Amino acid sequence: MTTMGLVVKSDPEAVANADALEQWLRERGVGVVRKTPESGQPASAALSCVFVLGGDGTFLSAARWIGDLDIPMIGIKFGQVGFLAETVEDDLISAAEKIVGGNFTIQQRMRLQVTIVKNGAERVRQTVLNDVVINKGALARLAHIKASINGHYLTTYPGDGLIISTPTGSTAYSLAAGGPIIHPSVAGIVLTPICPFTLTNRPLVVPESARIELSLAKKPRDIMVTLDGQEGHEIDERDTVIIEKAPHPVNMIILPGQRYFDVLKAKLRWGGGPG
């Protein structure tokens, strides 16, 4: 590997560890391209991999920075939750040794492509790793979100909003709203209503091949579409939000000995042991 990227959270501890990692890499002849989540220069296809030093928000920013490039990524936890992190700061150099030595595997994580069309004209096209959220503002009335799957009407969700998430995003906002946890290798998309007015509106898992179309059934006020919690767009009854599997997944680095269920148990603080 010749050049690696560092995406670093604006946090003194993360910055200090990034400095140490950059020095360690350069001493071994590895080039380094460094950025913060806020800087807007696009990633280069020449990068061998990207280290993300921060929390899940930093990782999502890094995924947006990479875009459609097939650059492997690894998250180093410096945030509060870190579901997307593969390891923690104390193991940073150990992880770097494995990656420089090629001692890792790749797990592909599905992304969603989101298109917002107004009056037949496309005005937004973006990809997300975690979720798409349609929700109302603090003073708005119920949102009435009409949902269709593959061109067939499904239902209208009355409530505070609707979350469309990937398996990766199933442990984020969707989980907090009562949605299921989906293993990253399960090929599905989760629809989770937020505080539904109709109690029979429950979370739904559809195949990853599904094309989901959402629109507002009643003339709304103060309704937003939020992409990965990082980009927001106001919509009204003239907009259609189209969500489908994106053609380019995120390539996440998996280190030897790391197990998804061990991470899940640790993050969710599940207790008990084998009988």
In DSSP terms, 212 is beta-bridged to 149, 243
- At residue 235's C-alpha, the angle toward residues 229 and 240, to 5°, is 100
Q: Which active-site residues does the annotation give?
A: 56
Is the Cα dihedral 256, 250, 232, 135 positive or negative? Answer: negative
CA distances from 93 to 25, 51, 96 (A): 9, 11, 5
- Could you give the CA distance from residue 113 to residue 131 in angstroms, rounded to a whole number? 10
- Identify which of 74, 40, 96 has the alpha carbon closest to the alpha carbon of residue 231: 40
